[in-house]
Amino acid sequence: MKKVVVAFDSFKGCISAHEACKAASKGIRTVLPGANVVEIALSDGGEGLVKCVQQILPTQSVSIDVHGPLMTKLKAEYAMSMDGKTAYMEMATASGLMLVPIDQRDPTKTTTYGVGEMVADALKRGCQKIVMGIGGSATCDGGRGMVEALRDKGCLEKKNHKNIYHNDHGNLMQKGHECLVQKCKLIVACDVNNPLYGDNGAAHVFAPQKGATKEQVLWLDEQLRTFAKETEQAGLATPELANHPGAGAAGGLGYALLAYLNAELNSGIDIVLDLANFDVAIKDADLVITGEGKSDQQTMMGKVPHGVLKRCKKAGVPVWLLSGAIDDRTGELAKNFDLVRSINENDNRPLSVLMQPDVAKKNITAFLSAIFFIYLQIIRTNRNINKTNKD
């Protein structure tokens, strides 16, 4: 085996994608020191997107003060291409659930205001393209906070007293200024297909995960409906836009990005795979190994391993799935991947131990070292058999 590509997502709450790739590479090289092991850290567009981009492309870091989900000041970072034309950011950096203490999680109070501040900063620096991951949100405000921040930063002009801002005729900026938003293309990494409101909308499906009670879910859903109506009355959207796949992503932020910033919602993993020139990397590979914290039926719905699998199948390259935990009760994973295993299958310690970064990295390394040792033994045995047959 001459070339192996290791392309992992992060093991959420445990190790980064980069750390997983490093541990896998170490295990392979222990047995096959001469192998060409290519490491590609991946993200499906949620948390970890910027870090992956920074490892794939030459970028510069930008750090700014923004208002967090509870409107407290915090530092938010995003990446910018070296020519200053493209910004890469995660909404979770400014409005993520992990920024809110568990006992304070309440999506009736959290806001996407900080996301708007990040976008405004990139626009004022002259960015012509913004790639944004919108996973891991603490919010359910439909993106209203982002719109308000863009107005406050001079990027959107208030149209009336209902917090609606118009983008018709290119008149988004304050009078006398160029329309920065219209000069910038916004690409959103989104793998959620939920509409803005309704039984399958942002409030009913996602708000309970962010701390909302049943009563608050109903109130939030009504607020999202109201925001959509106001947007439609302002001539920025048709009623159909609220049902656009992904409009309900990140607590409805997807809707505001579509209506106010004319964003494109694309598959997160496909965006990252394209940035990494993944198709070129696997062209002459003998094997691709991917994985994540836990693989189950959700894996085949646009997660990193699924995106990797599709590219590998197209290229005719075998692909293994090695994750922290495997739940394949439907058999879908075993049916599609050439090998499906848990790195912890031989470790009976409690999950709290297995989730420790050092333990996870050692188990990845040990598992791959063991499996490649077996592979090497099989190759040697086959060579001896062939040699004997020839003799």
CATH numbers and ranges of domains, the chain: 3-42+276-390 (3.40.50.10350), 49-268 (3.90.1510.10)
What is the average per-residue pLDDT within 276-291?
96
Percent of the chain topping pLDDT 90 = 81
Residue 389 has pLDDT above 70, yes or no: no
Q: How far is CA 323 from CA 21, 55, 253, 340, 364, in A?
A: 12, 22, 30, 8, 9
What does the CA dihedral 340, 287, 52, 105 come to, rounded to 10 degrees? -10
111's tokens: 């806001």
Does residue 121 surpass a pLDDT of 60?
yes
Q: What is the mean pLDDT of residues 293-317?
A: 94
The confidence band for 179, taking pLDDT boundaries of 50, 70 and 90, is very low
Backbone angles phi, psi at 81, to 5 degrees: -60, 155
- pLDDT at res. 391: 57
- Residues 135, 137, 140, CA angle at the centre, nearest 5°? 125
Asked if the model's pLDDT at residue 178 lies above 70, the reply is no
d(CA 24, CA 7): 9
The percentage of the chain sitting over the pLDDT mark of 70, rounded to a whole number, equals 90
User: Can you tell me the mean pLDDT for 8-36?
Assistant: 94
Q: Is the pLDDT of residue 70 over 90?
A: yes
Average pLDDT score, the chain? 90
What are the beta bridge partners of residue 89? 132
No. of helices (H) and no. of strands (E), the chain:
14, 13
Question: At 251, is the pLDDT very low, low, confident or very high (cuts 50, 70, 90)?
Answer: very high
Nearest to 146 by CA among 95, 83, 200, 82: 95
More confident residue, 302 or 57: 57
Does residue 163 have a pLDDT over 70? no
Q: Which of 162-171, 177-186, 275-284 has the lowest mean pLDDT?
A: 162-171
Answer for the pair 295, 319: CB distance below 8 angstroms, yes or no: no
115 or 156: which leads in pLDDT: 115
pLDDT-derived band at 376 (thresholds 50, 70, 90) equals: confident
* Least confidently predicted of 47-61, 114-128, 174-188, 272-286: 174-188
User: Side by side, which strands form the sheet with 287-291?
Assistant: 36-39, 3-8, 287-291, 319-323, 339-342
pLDDT for 175 beyond 50: no
Query: Which one-letter amino acid corresponds to residue 279?
Result: D
What is residue 170's DSSP assignment? Answer: G
Q: How confident is the model at residue 158 (pLDDT cuts 50, 70, 90)?
A: low
pLDDT of residue 191: 83
> How much is the pLDDT for 166?
36
Task: Give rounded-to-5 percent helix, strand, coil for the chain.
Answer: 45, 20, 35
The pTM score is 0.83
Measured between alpha carbons, how far is 305 from 278 in angstroms, rounded to an integer? 13
